[in-house]
Structure 1
Amino acid sequence: MSTNKEKIYKYIQKQFLEDQKKGEDNGVETKEVSNFLNIKRSNASALLNQLIKEDLLKKSSTRPVHYYLSDRITHTAFDDVIGGRNSLSEAVKQAKAAINFPGGALPIHIIATPGSGTTYFSKILIRYAKEQKIIPINAPYHEINCKLLEDKPALLNEELFGKNDNNYFVSKYKNSVIMINHYEKLDTAQVYRINHALDQIQNKTGNLIILSTIPENKNKINLPIKIELPSFDQKPISEKLAIIEAMFEKQARNSGKPIITASDLILALAQHSYNYGFKSLSKLIVLASAKAYLRSLDDNKDTIYINTGDLPDTFVFNKTLDAKNYQKIQRLINNRENFVFKGNTLNSIDSIERKYESKLYEKIDSKYQDLSQEGLKAENIQQVVFNRVKELYSKYGFQDCHVEGNTNNQESLQELSKIVPKDIIDLTAGYLTEATKVLKRRFDSSIFYGLCLHINSIINLGTNNKHEISDQKVKQLKNTYSQEYTLTTAFVDRIEKRLHYSFDEEQKINLLMFLVEPKKSKKHPVVLYAMHGDGVAHYLSEVTNKLNDKDNSYSYDMQLNKKMDIVYKELRNLVININQDQGIIVIYDMGSFKDIFNRITDETNIPIRLINVPVTLVGLEVARRAVNTTNIDDIYHDVLSNLQTWNSNTTNNKQNMIITLCHTGEGGAVQLKDYIEQYSHLDFTVKAMSISDRAVLAKNVQDLRKVYNIRSFIGTYNPNLFRIPFISITKIFENSHKDLDKILSFIPVHSTSSIYDRIYDYYQNELKYTHVDQLKETMPQVIDALNEQYELDENQLIGVFTHIVGIIENALAGKKRQQINLSEKKIEYLRTDFDYLQNVLKILERKFNIVFNNSDLYTIVAILRKL
């Protein structure tokens, strides 16, 4: 988190760069800084003076005082580019080298996939060139977009080479920026002529020449400076988060309202893959902000709250990061539950939709008021206005090029383009893309190709293809498929505007029927993987979809420390979103998934079938056994013979049970039961019972043992029945619920579970006088206390654990105890340790009826303090 001093310095840097665009340097006043951070003027002045002492700022001798960047600090347009010192560091270095080349800037070649920020990076390049006085502050900008002129080869040639080939782009402009975009659309002859022109260039015109293309085309232009920009998906997670925050800050500034959104939504945006990188991400954020802004008008709130419903239904929220990235994200977000954007943070995100966004919220306000006066309901107002927002956004070039499904097959599209003009293909793709979002269903590629051919046959081939639909049928279709009719009407309007062709009502209904047809297709159940850990379910689902060539498999990864109420909410939302009316088959590993999905079925009536594949438990069991035996076949055959019962996590094929106790069997026992069922992932059965009548309790427990494996009693005191381990209620509530499963498994909270499981298993067969169940009751508390005081490493923990158990076993066996001659001076030197140990070990002395002598204490201290 940035300090106020850092924020002030960055703010002054931004102001400096803004002034440089105009050839000025006005500095900032104390009052301006005070208002920016919303702090007292005296505090702002103190921070500014600290920056002066650090030689980062200087101030004027005039009144009012103005603060400027120190002369020793060199600032450029690249300084605050997100990723400038990371993913874009090489790009920045190359750009600076090209622009500052002796004798004039070298032509620059930018290579990037669509949506990687070519436009943004080019703007920074140009700004930097102006700062370095390579080109004038007011240098004209000339862009030749080969993609837009692809269908007009004569005009494109004229732009590049002049009329009659006598005025090439390199010579027709002076002291200017020349940008040639998407030159992959040029033919071989045009590329050759550009190469020839660049080879002959003597940059005496003071121009900055930039060319851009896609990676597949990068070797066609011969330039020494080739800048390859990483795609959004290739950027590190820290940069993605910074970009998303900057975009939300911009929306808060444009809307005039603070924006609040949950960390989970921000993380989902950062993990998502985008077909068109920055453009797709920007579109999502703008539309979500606009939708939430509209809701704030309905609710008369001064703050915009963005939730998951503001993103498209097709957006996937449950992609799981790998463990390394997950830990990195937790550090980056600092465990924040929400992000708050106030719109007072300047950033370097300056994308091409600025002119649109600046007036977007004004348009929403205006349209909202118009519709309110017509007496429409709030939900109708939202729908109409949001459709208008999407329509406005589309005007600025953010339409998806292809619809969902297989319509993005480049070879098929190339074949289609030989028959159907590009305008019709683009319009139809936009039509089906919008239909996919509005109707929430996918359209097969055959619908896309068929619709393109159908429209082309009507417009360009004069084929009416009418079906003589009656007026009554037309009216019925319009009423039954009102959404489809609205979409089709809008589509027809776009065709009329671009292609100047007017459809009659019957032709419009024919188009509508392309959308109706998919409804007749059969719907199928879907598959959901639900697994513990980071990424397990995600990768299983990903492999399933790839091998099956279908997108009918989904995933949910449950982090081990996630609260169960959050898990339930997330799973419920996921189930609702992925259900296709035919139910869900869930493949899960262990834990409380079964109860959660049964509850979801009860509440939603969505059919869910559960398949338990306890691979995690099997792995744990195999790993545990592998430590205790050297015979691989013993492990192998034992595991195979018990494979069907591993999900009970017992060796006697019984379901595990925990018994909670109080005097009535209600009250505290029931609360304990509810607490364990809410936070434990062990899938143990929990039963609340009365402890008031010991005889009745013993009989009931004896009956339960015939069916269940009784793991432990939990209560205020130990009933000492059938050598069943006891866990104090204090132990449960003195520790975080995140450690509950460790406590229930008799694992020291600060220790590694598998290690102590192996120790207990080993002692079960080796100890003759010491009961392992009693060790499980007492040793975790002892080890936790020692670890808290001495901060032990794993070797020390295991060493002191086994050493203490050895002392207990020898004492109970009646063996002669070790005697070490300890001087009074040494005992006094270790007095604090001895006193602490005597207090900690009292629980063992009471449980096993022994006393630890000074020699015992000294050997334990020697391990703890590595003497």
Structure 2
Amino acid sequence: MILMIDIYRNSLNNREFELLNAIHHDTLSKLKLNVLNDIGCDATTLSNQLFIERSNVSRTLNRLCRNGLLTKIQGRPTLYFDKTAVAYYFPEVFLPDILPLNVTLLRYLEENYAFNIRTGHIFANFFGTLEQEALFNLTEEAKAALYYPSESLSLLLYGQEHTGKREFAKRLFAVGLNRRLFPNKEAYYYLDCNDCSESTSFSKTLEAILMTKTTRKFIVIDSFHLLTDKEQHKLKKIINEKSYFSPQEKMTIRPNCMFLLLTSEPSFDPSQFTDPFSITLDMPSLDQRTMKEKLLFILSFFQKEADAIQKIIRFSYNVLNCFTLSRYPRNILSLELEIKRAIALAFHQQVDQKSPINLTFDHLSDNLLNNMQTDTQMIDELYHIYHLLTSPIDKNDIVLMPNQESLLTRFIEKNILYDRNHLPYNKLLIATSKESTDSPRELVRPLLKQFYNKKLNLQQLSHPQLVTEIQVHFSSLGFDQSAALLNGLVAYFDPLLSNQDDSLADHTYESMTAVTQACRDFLSYLKQQYHFKANEHEALFLQTYIEDALLIAQNSRPAIVVVTGTLPRGEIYTTFANSLPYTTKVISMEAAQLLPHAQTLTSHLKRLDEGKGIVFLINDDVPKEVLTLLSTYPRDYLVIDKMTIQTLEKVVRLSDNPFNFIEDLSRALQPDGTCLTGGPDTLIPIIKQDILDKSLVFLNPTKIVDSAVSVFYAIIHELQMAYDDSLFIRFLLHVSFMVERMLLENCLTYQNINLFINEHHEINTVIDRQMTIIRTTYNIIIPQSEIAYITEIFLDGK
């Protein structure tokens, strides 16, 4: 594709070249300023700038777009930006020829980077991803062999002991599994030649693997240098000819498999194995890697130990400096032993064994300190990395918390893996010293320092620029943190403004006012675009569902959402979610979080689902009212209320067929499907007592249900619709929580509200008129956004 673009560039006529050059400079200037939300140039502007007729400009731009040089953002006006300029700044992201209506480049990059980080970078925390790093070429060549068309090329990996060759094999297989090059996890076979005795010869074991019925296999053969010459010759022949004759079956088979041979033999000569291996890779030792790669190893091992011993581990950057600069004669094994030794000594010496483990110089071994390197270049490289770590932090300690996707993990994925100044994932806070990372206000202090470190002249910036700047900063944290951080940011500024505190030196009262207002503007933007509510926990809950549905929609597969009353740690549900062949989420929730926003959730999932279907798996400890609500979802939503081992096995087995998954699962789990029926006389007491009485804060359930029931029957009579249990339940629940929201002045927003009303004007008008009873009873104003959600309920029932 790049070659074709270059060829086409060379054949441009003068007008095409002039327009492309103008758009290239416009795109490049906005990329340098990180103005990703406003990127693109329209035909009218170009026509005025270059004095070319408007119609000719449009035709030429469309032609450049068709030939892959530009990307078009649909809308009024239609915008164009230069693909090659954006690809230089964001090489990991595929850029389409056309972006849909209202999808800016920033939004597209956010969605695609989030997807890449979660599904594409299997080598996170372990391998280099930038060209200057020791493992970059190795991982690129390995993935090239894996992605080879038709069937993967086999690899030979050699190097010193304990350099991570086996872990490399596992992660390479995970990449292939993620790309669907292998059918499932059972396609991974590991054969250690150290374990092959005379009774279990290598040939017999390999034949058993090759004769299995897996469509495509990934076979790792460790310490293959221990094989006899005859066995090595036989293995080479199988790999070279891609066929195997079975003496027992008396037949020749052609196994579709990728071989990865590992060896740590010091005298190994790779030149003897160029046939049949077109790619042989030398795994560098730990001391041959860059400071950044060593730092990844050390932080990852400390995090692993914090998870294993269920303790908080705290240490200074000076201690981390000693670990990073030291040499390790036995590579990862030596590093792991040094880390465990230091933690064990610190734990033994602390007075209160329930407090965090504090590592100091006293806990480091003489061997570790004596092996420290003093090379100036290494220290300078390490200083640069530490600057990324420490610049947003007032403290000097790193704190690793057990059993959580900590800020350390986010830093590794979004900063070290994407260490380019022009990316929005820049300088992310990884830890604080004494304060809890759960407090939004405490997270704000270092973030403010990071913001001001850019030395922006805030008084010269207009409001839109401020909002864009802050949006870029906070997008690096992911929207799951933005609401809490922005609320905390505003809360932190308000006392400063009221006291005119000058603790943030060199910044005026007017500057802080401007930043506060900009943060509030951006928070309003989040509320409007992503349905954030005043309660940050409800906002995060909804956002989790929406992001998951979006990822699933990108995968074009049905969604499976596992709902548990309390999130289990290390139990079968987590394992189950990780074993499925597409994105899933284990979510801990309470009825009070789900019920008030049920209709919003339904609307978002329906728009993103596009008919692929969603399955809710419900654990036994989930409240009954949640089960009642979920049973009212449309037919392409399947609710299973008994999450047994047998149920999970059926889901995993049937999930390989995404096209008939919902139907197949419904038939296979017929006894497990749940449904709430019985007519209004049966349902009204259940809704009042089991759901509304427990969930409404101050409304009288009987009063609101009586009012809503009369409105419901008036609506279905005027719309000439038949009564339906599901319709009845969803309407009563939504209206009840809607009234309580209106009394709190916390209404929902609805995207593209005018377009929706125009498309469904008649139904919307009927519902709006009949809701007068609710308005007068509670003396409230019901906005059109709330009416639109009620309209959707009746549209689903038609």
Q: TM-score when scaled to structure 1?
A: 0.30
TM-score (norm 2): 0.33
Q: Please tell me whether Structure 1 or Structure 2 has the larger radius of gyration of its CA atoms.
A: 1
